[in-house]
Structure 1
Amino acid sequence: MKTDFKFSNLLGTVYSRGNVVFTPDGNSLLSPVGNRVSVFNLVKNTSYTLPFAHRKNITHLGLTGNGQLLLSIDEDGRAILTLFPRRISIYHFSFKGPVSALAFSPNGRYFVVGVGKRVQAWRTPNTPGADGNGELEFAPFILHRDLGGHFDEVRHLSWSGDSRFFISSSRDLTARLWSLNPEEGFEPTVLSGHRQQVRAAWFSSNQELIYTVSEDGALFRWEFTTRTPRNGEEQDTIEEGDDERWRIVKKDFFMQNARLKCAAFHPRTNLLTVCFNNGLFSIYELPSFSNIHSLSMASSPISAVAINPTGEWLALASSKTAQLLVWEHTSESNILKQSSHLDNPTTLSYSPDSSRIITGSDDGLIKIWDTSSGFHITTFTEHTSSVTASTYSSRGNILFTASLDGSVRAWDMLRYRNFRTFTAPTRLSFSSLALDPSAEVVCAGSHDSFDIHLWSVQTGALLDQLSGHEGPISTLAFTPDGRSLISGSWDRTIRIWSVFDRSQTSEVLQLTSDILCIAISPNSTQLAASTLDGQLTFWSLQNSTQESGLAARRDVSGGRTLTSRRTAASSPGTKSFTTITYSADGSCLLAAGNSKYICLYSISTLTLIKKFTVSTNLSLDGTQEFLNSRAILSNGLPEGMLDSEGEASDLEDRIDRSLPGASRGKDATSRTIKPQVRVTAVQFASTGRSFCAASTEGLLIYSLDSASGAGEEDFDPFDLDIDTTPQNILALLARQPEPEYLRALIMAFRLSDAGLVQKCYEAVPYTSIPLIVRALPRVYLSKLLQLIAAQMENTPHLEFHLRWLTEVIGVHGACIKERRAQYASEIRAVLKGVDGTGRMVRSLSERNGFEVGYLLSQREASKRKQEQVVMQLEPNGEHGGSDEAMLEDGDGDGDGEWQGLD
């Protein structure tokens, strides 16, 4: 089994905090998710996560006008510069302090940031192929100007259309107008008059007007005008320089009983979008200030808003409810509506075909995620308490979930509804769940009772209660062959039940510590158990004897909490695995727990193969290994334990509305401490090519397929030589009289340049495809299959792609069949492309059939009309009997002219 799993995608979380950004073409949306960036393609309905990660949560995103460079900044002001089309981070930089605002100039040559009270203008780093010399710089971040004048934090920055001026909005109730370079006759201008902090300010499209909005819902329109003389004042008495300046020419108010949280303005369409802390957002047309729409996204505040370049789509994000919405105001419809769990996920289940992932959370919600697109499909809300366990039927049409609300529910995954609910005679909180392979019997265990409850899936009746354990039941599992039910308990025993025998006897396996989780191998011959003392024990199910054991305390321990006085290696809370699972072939065991590590073990050698780090985000608790003495204050407490919310400047933010003794306050989603990193569930996909982990960060998918979620192959420099260059590849294609298509294609595969690969692929003549496929080395077979699958989805050359695919299957079909596990992802991608092509051809044929039918009906209607005309022209009103009438022409020569379709 291959073990080179790499991070592929992040599901389960769509937005955490910060701003959202549209790409220049308006087809994709960038959203910060913790310390990572997720990209949602709104046209193809897919999503992926960029491979880099910050040290803390991301607060600001900025994208250049040409979409080449992405600048992401975290809470500490540390920035990562990314080549966005290639998804490669190329530079790290620190702004020496938290950044409160970021904006790129329209021409992309400069960007401004707000660092505390100061405004800094920086030059945008050069990129190859961009304007200028096109060379990478040794020190790409060059400070252009450092401006000061504000008395409080800068909250918003915006540029003029010509990239010469920019406006900064601050919490000191003012906005200031700056110039990028010294301008003759220009002086920095202060725009004051608001009674609360200025949230944002923008230029109009012609740069003759400035709009500013404040937190109290006031919109001021500024214009560069000449002051008119007052009563009794002569024009000559007005001092020079006081006659022309930016003045308030109009004041408008939104009249909402709520505070304005964020706003966005689109100069081309003059549309202003304002969002409030009660979840309401409104669209106004300026300068007439006419309200176009007023809708509510949620009851929680809207944290960020963005408008795509064409002004048609609005992106709205809420950090409290973790929602992301893209709304088209012209059609009043949702383009994208995604939401995350309000709390950490507690359980996950792969569908049998690995196309869906089911997650349950402490918020009582059950969500379905599509693994190929990364989008959330639907949500089940019937459970009223935390969802603790879930499992799929072998056919994939039924889902079973257990909850602390005392119910086990069965869900129809074809109609997405709850069709059966199982309950116990007494009120219990179920914590574990198991389903037999035939999906006829479902059983559940509880921490409140020591019995196992069994129900019939067809009737919903309680069949039996299995007694024997002397402690709470922590885990349940059926063997894959369906012969036995295995249960683990805190009484330090594992029981093997023969539930389908008349005697219903149980066999006891004694261990030395409390049982946390069990897993059964796919061939039903081995049992693995994780105990509280950090041991992994392996038992034979055939003779009920212990085969081997593994001490994993050192492997799982990692990350100290904020209040811990010990290092991660000495912390007692991360010394055991709470979830374990076998791989698809049973050769490896995946284990995780209340730490930041996921461990992969080999069953045969009992060795640690690989260790995956879930997160290095310092905004989470439990990611640091050692105690930082510099973060300890004079009172002996860590710096992170200080409550900064009580020092907010706004009165509404300082009021404590939590009840006495309550740990979470009035809102179930509010936190008083940092969330602690942990993994609650892990599971392998049925194909064995990927596995998923439910963690504090969301659903982390690790895959063997390097192109999964990334869209491109990884670049491997060891395949290159001095002659493998783009220029040589193009020269091979243009060589006369015989271009070397095969050599050019192989060199393009080595460079892994998508543009070059597509050019070489499409340059191959139709008749030369069989020769190219037969001579292609098998080491490039996987890349060729991925290329064909991608081209079938993106380009219209149907017969060309099918010819390639036919030759590949005919020549290399035997090799692909022998190594089906190695080419599983490529075959799935090709099948997806073939299905898409078939659907497109069918839709085109149906459309053509409708058009042909319409044309034929028009022909019949034209014939009937001609017949009516002939009947009206005949004197006796009788028809001559032919389908087309011969009418005399007007020249009187008697020769007629045929009137018909011709």
Structure 2
Amino acid sequence: MVSDNFSFLEKKIKSLEERLQQSEQEREQLQSQLQTLGDRARRQSHQLARLDRYIEEFLKYQLIECESTLTGHTNSVSQVAIAPDGQTLASSSYDKTVKIWGLHTRSERHTLSGHSKSVSCLAIAPDSQTIATGSDDKTIKIWNLQTGELLHTLSGHSDYLRDLIYGEIGDNSISIPILISASDDTTIKFWNWQTGEILRTLTGHDDYVHSLALSPDGRILASGSADNTIKLWDLQKGEAIGTFTGHSNSIYSLVFTPDGQILVSASLDKTIKLWHLETGTNTQTLIGHSDFINDIAISPDGRTIASASSDNTIKLWNLKTGQEICHLTGHANTVYSVVFSPDGCRLMSSSGDRTVKIWRWLVEEQ
């Protein structure tokens, strides 16, 4: 009798153990299924979020209108720039003049006359008080942006001016505001624009220097040349610290991303290249224009590249993916220049059709 009871208990225990083992397996299977479902839900959530961003981007950039066309120049408009305060627009032209416009009124404030040949480039000071203009007459002129008064004329280059940018050199105790110029004489010059003194001349390119860009922290200067190279310079020391090669034609435009990690270049080889600054690696090459790329700009949020081309179009690109978002048509000739407004809500362009166009997104960013 006792033996039978033990046998019965052993069977019961064995049955319970089997059931517990089965329950444990079922629990593990259920846990695994829940984990899979959770992973799938997270992936779908990320995909939906990414899809939302794509839809937002698609809507924003597919719904762009030419809000205004500014006329008044009698020859090609070589460059357009906007003051950091977002109030003033400036355009330079082969008609030897620079026009100053009210961005919001769309009205001409001043016409700056004084150069004897085409005005090829311009730059507005960070304080929005002065504007520098460079010309095929080999001079740079400094003007009061508000009044249009000519303040200084800088001479020293032996060939056409191609690009200008404001910067600063010095340490924390003494900081000197400077103007940096690029020229067809193959040099880059640093100017004390208030005195007209040439502080430094950088040599190293073997052909025309077409483009300049300054890193957001103001420490690195990039230059692009008709020798098909990009050079990096220590701004304070004036020393070359790197050379990027990869373009097969002149580099006409350079711009740093807002975080300073990527340098973007545009070339007459019809491509845009993205370079990782620390490694010098060409991380992406954007192809789509059918003619020379004359200028590029990056939106203030660092998400979008705008490119201006001799194919008469402007293209917008997703900087992260390298994909073309859309293209803008409306200019009847070469598009020479593009620039974003400081708030990123508008894009300005200048062209060989003698106009400046202001483009506006119809879908506001959230």
- Quickly name the TM-score band, shorter chain normalised: 0.5 to 0.7
Q: Structure 2: which 5+ runs fail to align?
A: 1-101, 169-174
After TM superposition, the structure 1 = structure 2 runs for residues 430-579 of structure 1, keeping only pairs within 5 Å, are 430-447=209-226, 449-499=227-277, 501-502=278-279, 504-513=281-290, 514-552=292-330, 574-579=332-337
C-alpha separation in 2, matches of 1:414 and 1:343 = 23
TM-score, normalization: structure 1? 0.27
Deviations 1:505-525 (A, max 9, x none): 431111232212111112222
1:438–1:414 CA distance, 2 compared to 1 (3 A): farther
The SS at the match of 1:595 is coil
Q: Tell me by how many angstroms 1:503 deviates.
A: 5.2
The SS at the match of 2:223 is strand
Instruction: Tell me the equivalent position of 2:137.
Output: 363
The SS at the match of 1:12 is strand
- 1:6 maps to 2:106: yes
Q: Tell me by how many angstroms 1:427 deviates.
A: 3.3
Letter in 2 for 1:474: Y
Instruction: Tell me the equivalent position of 1:419.
Output: 199
C-alpha separation in 1, matches of 2:148 and 2:219 = 32
Q: Tell me by how many angstroms 1:396 deviates.
A: 8.4
The SS at the match of 1:530 is strand
The SS at the match of 1:405 is coil
Instruction: Tell me the equivalent position of 1:387.
Output: 161
Instruction: Tell me the equivalent position of 1:601.
Output: 359
1:390–1:3 CA distance, 2 compared to 1 (3 A): closer
1:368–1:503 CA distance, 2 compared to 1 (3 A): closer
Letter in 1 for 2:229: D
Instruction: Tell me the equivalent position of 2:345.
Output: 587
1:412–1:551 CA distance, 2 compared to 1 (3 A): same
C-alpha separation in 2, matches of 1:508 and 1:469 = 10
After TM superposition, the structure 1 = structure 2 runs for residues 748-759 of structure 1, keeping only pairs within 5 Å, are none
Contact 2:244–2:280 (Cα < 8 Å) also in 1 = no
C-alpha separation in 2, matches of 1:579 and 1:399 = 20
Q: Tell me by how many angstroms 1:453 deviates.
A: 1.6
1:359–1:602 CA distance, 2 compared to 1 (3 A): same
C-alpha separation in 1, matches of 2:279 and 2:215 = 17
Question: What root-mean-square deviation, in Å, do the aligned CA atoms of Structure 1 and Structure 2 show?
Answer: 2.4
Q: Tell me by how many angstroms 1:412 deviates.
A: 2.5
1:490–1:584 CA distance, 2 compared to 1 (3 A): same
1:603–1:400 CA distance, 2 compared to 1 (3 A): farther
C-alpha separation in 2, matches of 1:512 and 1:345 = 26
1:398–1:604 CA distance, 2 compared to 1 (3 A): farther
Letter in 2 for 1:439: G
C-alpha separation in 2, matches of 1:3 and 1:435 = 25
C-alpha separation in 1, matches of 2:197 and 2:354 = 35
Deviations 1:38-83 (A, max 9, x none): xxxxxxxxxxxxxxxxxxxxxxxxxxxxxxxxxxxxxxxxxxxxxx
How many residue pairs are counted as aligned between the two chains?
256
Deviations 1:115-165 (A, max 9, x none): xxxxxxxxxxxxxxxxxxxxxxxxxxxxxxxxxxxxxxxxxxxxxxxxxxx
Q: Tell me by how many angstroms 1:437 deviates.
A: 1.9
After TM superposition, the structure 1 = structure 2 runs for residues 671-690 of structure 1, keeping only pairs within 5 Å, are none
1:510–1:383 CA distance, 2 compared to 1 (3 A): same
Could you say which structure has the higher strand fraction?
A: 2
C-alpha separation in 2, matches of 1:404 and 1:518 = 20
Q: Tell me by how many angstroms 1:504 deviates.
A: 3.3
- 1:375 maps to 2:149: yes
Q: Tell me by how many angstroms 1:414 deviates.
A: 5.0
Contact 1:352–1:396 (Cα < 8 Å) also in 2 = no
C-alpha separation in 2, matches of 1:13 and 1:549 = 34
Q: Tell me by how many angstroms 1:584 deviates.
A: 1.6
Letter in 2 for 1:422: L
TM-score, normalization: structure 2? 0.65
Deviations 1:606-645 (A, max 9, x none): 9xxxxxxxxxxxxxxxxxxxxxxxxxxxxxxxxxxxxxxx
Contact 1:434–1:442 (Cα < 8 Å) also in 2 = yes
Q: Tell me by how many angstroms 1:383 deviates.
A: 0.9
The SS at the match of 1:397 is strand
C-alpha separation in 2, matches of 1:3 and 1:415 = 31
The SS at the match of 2:198 is strand
C-alpha separation in 1, matches of 2:154 and 2:202 = 16
The SS at the match of 2:113 is coil
The SS at the match of 1:6 is coil
After TM superposition, the structure 1 = structure 2 runs for residues 318-337 of structure 1, keeping only pairs within 5 Å, are none
Larger radius of gyration: 1
C-alpha separation in 1, matches of 2:362 and 2:282 = 31
Letter in 1 for 2:285: V
Letter in 1 for 2:286: L
Instruction: Tell me the equivalent position of 1:315.
Output: none
Contact 2:130–2:142 (Cα < 8 Å) also in 1 = yes
Deviations 1:366-402 (A, max 9, x none): 1100123321111110111111101112798121110
Letter in 2 for 1:12: L
1:361–1:396 CA distance, 2 compared to 1 (3 A): farther
After TM superposition, the structure 1 = structure 2 runs for residues 42-121 of structure 1, keeping only pairs within 5 Å, are none
Q: Tell me by how many angstroms 1:432 deviates.
A: 1.3
Q: Structure 1: which 5+ runs fail to align?
A: 15-340, 553-572, 607-902
C-alpha separation in 1, matches of 2:193 and 2:324 = 39
Instruction: Tell me the equivalent position of 1:275.
Output: none
C-alpha separation in 2, matches of 1:464 and 1:3 = 38
C-alpha separation in 2, matches of 1:396 and 1:438 = 15
Structure number with greater CO (CA < 8 Å, separation at least 6) is: 2
Contact 1:517–1:529 (Cα < 8 Å) also in 2 = yes
Letter in 1 for 2:334: S
Contact 1:11–1:369 (Cα < 8 Å) also in 2 = no
1:384–1:599 CA distance, 2 compared to 1 (3 A): same
After TM superposition, the structure 1 = structure 2 runs for residues 172-183 of structure 1, keeping only pairs within 5 Å, are none
Instruction: Tell me the equivalent position of 1:807.
Output: none
Deviations 1:92-133 (A, max 9, x none): xxxxxxxxxxxxxxxxxxxxxxxxxxxxxxxxxxxxxxxxxx
Letter in 2 for 1:360: G
Contact 1:534–1:576 (Cα < 8 Å) also in 2 = yes
Letter in 1 for 2:339: T
Contact 2:350–2:356 (Cα < 8 Å) also in 1 = yes
Letter in 2 for 1:593: S
1:416–1:592 CA distance, 2 compared to 1 (3 A): same
Pick from 394, 407, 413 the counterpart of residue 187 of structure 2: 407
Letter in 2 for 1:512: H
C-alpha separation in 1, matches of 2:154 and 2:315 = 37
1:386–1:438 CA distance, 2 compared to 1 (3 A): same
Instruction: Tell me the equivalent position of 1:673.
Output: none
C-alpha separation in 1, matches of 2:363 and 2:353 = 24
Q: Tell me by how many angstroms 1:605 deviates.
A: 5.5
Contact 1:393–1:437 (Cα < 8 Å) also in 2 = no
